[in-house]
Amino acid sequence: MKNFIAKFLICITLCSIAHAQTQPILNLEKATKIADAAQEKAISENWNVVISILDQGGNLILLRRMDGTQIGSIEIAQLKAKTAFEFKRPTKIFENMIKEGAVHLTTMPITAVEGGLPIFQDDVIIGSIGISGVTSAQDGIIAEAALKAAGFK
């Protein structure tokens, strides 16, 4: 019996270690759900945007440019997603810090403009979304609406 309990406890420990060695992922299905929600929100507001989504490794998994969106947003949407992913926080946080005086942060390779959000699952980052095309405040509204509608955050 002792032996059994010992084996059981070892198993529990090993299992949690095993768990610690995987990470939740963002697959194309989830990314599509998020992008659909973003596009729906944009259409409902009559806004045109680029939607960009990165996965758990920070690599692009999906990009869509709605008709009429300014071409510059192709790059900006990806950069916002990159910053949100790389620093695990909304790009708006950096925007606010710089606006409040932390101008030295502009020397970092970040895009400090609202519209980029990290995507978390069980407190672990599994990707990010970047929206660009309208005002940055509106870009941010779309990003938040998309994650909420898709069941994140």
Which spans of this chain sit near a copy of itself (rule: CB under 8 A)? 1, 8, 11-12, 15, 18-19, 21-25, 27-29, 55-67, 70-76, 79, 83, 85-88, 94-95, 98-99, 101-113
Query: Smallest distance, Å, CB 89 to a copy of itself?
Result: 9
Structure tokens at 22: 């995987």
Query: Smallest distance, Å, CB 149 to a copy of itself?
Result: 19
Query: Smallest distance, Å, CB 34 to a copy of itself?
Result: 13
Q: Which residues are CB-contacts of 130 (< 8 A; sequence separation ≥ 6)? A: 50, 51, 52, 53, 54, 76, 77, 78, 79, 80, 81, 82, 84, 91, 115, 116, 143
Tokens 């095309």, located at residue: 133
